Structures are given as C-alpha cells and as structure tokens.
Amino acid sequence: MAKDPSKTEKATPRRREKAREEGQVAKSQDIPISASLLVIFLFLIFYFPFAYDKLYSYFTYIFSNPIHLLISQNKITLQETFKILAILILPPFLTLLLVGFISNVAQFGFLFTLKPLTPKLDKLNPISGLQRLFSLKTLFELLKNLLKLTVATIVAYYLVKSLLEDVFKFSSVPVNQDFYFLIKYTLIMILAFAILSIPISVIDYFFRKHEYEENIKMSKHEVKEEQKLYEGNPQIKSAIRKKQREMSLTRMMAEVAKADIVITNPTHYAVALSYKKGQMQAPKVVAKGKDNIALKIKEKAKELNIPIEENPPLARSLYESCEIGDFIPENLYKAIAKILAKIYMKKSKKF
C-alpha cells in the first residue's frame, strides 16, 4: 500500500519511467518458476529418450573395454566423461535460462540497471525493518509459502504412496525398467508442481502489480511540481507566449511595408495585400488582424502612405478565408481588381 496517505494520485508516465530506471517494476518470481516447470516437463518428455541412449552408449563404451579403467587412459576417460556431461546438462540448463529470461521480459520488458544493487541506508533503519516485518507484503509472503508447502506435501504424499506400490518390483525387473519408473515419477512430480503453481503465480503477479501501483502513487503536490518541472511554470510559459506574439506582430508589421493596399472594416478588421503584376498569380495577404492589431496595421499603413480602402464585407471575408502568406481566393478577384484599378488610376493622375 502507499506508505504516505497523501499519495492518492496515480503515477504519471514520467514517475513510472523514473521508477523503472531505479529497477522498480511489477514482477512475480513465481511466474518464471511455473513457466520453467511447464517447459522443462515438455522438454524432458522428448529429452529423456535421447539422454538414455547417450548414457547407455557411454557406459557401454567405458565398461566394454577394461583398458579405459587404466590410469594411463584417465585423460581419455575424463574427456569422454566431460563430453557426455556437457551434452546431457547444457540443453536443459540453457532451456531453463531462456525460459527464465523470456518470462521476466514478458512481465516488464527488457530492463538492465544496477541501481537495485546500490546500498540504501533506510534498509539499516530498525524501525523501517519492523514496519516491513509486519507489513501486508510479509503476510502475503507467509500465506503464499504456507500454500506452497501444503501443495508440496500433498503432491509428495501421493507420489510416494504410488511409488511404494512399484518399489518392490525394482529388484525383479531389468535396469532399463527401473529407469522407466524413475523417469515416470520424475515427470509426474514436475507436471503436478507445474499445474499447481500456476494459480499461485497468477495471484502473486496481481498482488505484485497492485503493490507496485500503490508504491509509485504520487501526492497532488508532487504531480503539480512535476508538471512545473517538465512542462514549465505557467507564468513562464505565459511570458514566453506573450514574447512570441510580440515577435510575430513585429514581423507582420514589417511585412505591411510590402503591401499595396489595406482593406479595412473601420473598427474591427484590417487586411494588407501585396500584388506585383507579372510576378504574382494573384494578390497576396501579407498581414491581417482585428481590433487592436487592425488599428496598428492601419497606423503603419498611414505612416508608409499605403492606400487604405474601407470595405467591411470584403475585409471580413478576406480575414476569415485567408491566412498570412495566402493568395486571395478566386471569388474575390473581381472585387480586389476594382480596388487596385482605382488605386493605380489615382497614382497615374498624380504623375
């Protein structure tokens, strides 16, 4: 459970990432055990005949010729012995290693960190030790181990009971028959433990998952501090946005100088257009704004002696249909052409 009552919020993605870097993940040690028992059972069904043939060939090779028992032949005999041991031991060992790796990766993904090995002073605290001793985790471990012991005792009892029925036959049957009995009861024992360990491992996994989620919970204050740290202080972000708007406005006002005409709604909208005959396919919006920004555009236009045309419907239509840098839509060509023609006529009269 969450150790601090104030930690009521679910962990954020960054908190989970940090916990993972520290080696804190939801994992059950019983799942690899169950998986190993099941896989090794299936593996041994096909492996025992192979192992039997190898051992039979080895002992036949060693005892068929007494020369292998001579001291002078010890090196050769040892080489053969190590060779057969490697052949018999390595496959199941590598299989168990692979199953253990896959069953852990399946729970929490691939993770390599040495942080869990770092000594922690709080583990030396006797008060913390007592709290761990009487925690829900300790109680769960006790109940789980008692359940395992009970299951192991029951399985062992019935296996021994069945084995005793066949043990008296051992002296009257060939050695290979004794080997068959040994394999049979070994496989039965592995399968029984595998099947009975599955529900235990599932319960253990969900308990570990719940415990992990509780341990990484955060307080509301921690969530806010993390947001400030990674997303920025709201006041700083607001100041940055304000600065960005100011810079954008400055750049846009500089573009007004390129305009040939400013279309306005006297009090609300202003759109500055540029048109270079023969160079542009249509008039282009170089600046636009409403309210205070519209007022600044008109002031800049007056300062630069750029013609200002009051046409509320056209100004509103241009503002809503165009972004800065866009060419005006075809349906407005005629209206803009009339205004530009009037401006060019006025200019020509001046000259």
Q: Is residue 240 part of a domain?
A: no
pLDDT digits (tens, 9 = 90+) for 53-104: 888 888 787 777 666 565 666 677 778 888 888 888 898 899 989 998 898 8
pLDDT digits (tens, 9 = 90+) for 214-231: 888 888 888 887 777 766
Task: In whole angstroms, give the CA distance from residue 196 to residue 204.
Answer: 13
Range of the domain at 309: 254-350
Task: In whole angstroms, give the CA distance from residue 325 to residue 340.
Answer: 19
Q: Are residues 222 and 258 in the same domain?
A: no
Q: Which of 5-9, 53-57, 115-119, 229-233 has the highest mean pLDDT?
A: 53-57
Q: What is the pLDDT of residue 2?
A: 44
Q: Are residues 218 and 80 in the same domain?
A: yes
Q: Where is the domain boundary, 176, 193, 228?
A: 228
Give the chain's domain count.
2
Task: In whole angstroms, give the CA distance from residue 284 to residue 341.
Answer: 16
Q: Are residues 91 and 196 in the same domain?
A: yes
Q: Are residues 215 and 100 in the same domain?
A: yes
State the residue for tokens 């400055």. 250
Q: Are residues 200 and 262 in the same domain?
A: no
- Strands (DSSP E) contained in 132-176 are none
Q: What is the pLDDT of residue 94?
A: 92
Residue 159, CB-side half-sphere exposure with 13 Å CA sphere: 19
Q: Is residue 131 part of a domain?
A: yes
Cβ-proximal residues to 211 (8 Å cutoff; 6+ apart), any chain: 1, 26, 137
Distance of CA 20 to the CA centre of its chain: 10
CA distances from 126 to 122, 123, 131, 195, 247 (A): 9, 8, 9, 40, 60
Q: Are residues 280 and 215 in the same domain?
A: no
Q: Are residues 37 and 124 in the same domain?
A: yes
State the residue for tokens 């192991």. 152
- Beta pairing, strands 284-290 & 308-310: unpaired
Mean pLDDT of the chain, nearest integer: 79
pLDDT digits (tens, 9 = 90+) for 281-336: 888 888 888 888 888 888 888 888 888 888 888 888 888 888 888 888 888 888 88
CB distance 54 to 88 below 8 Å: yes
Q: Is residue 242 part of a domain?
A: no
Return the CATH number at 330.
Answer: 3.40.1690.10
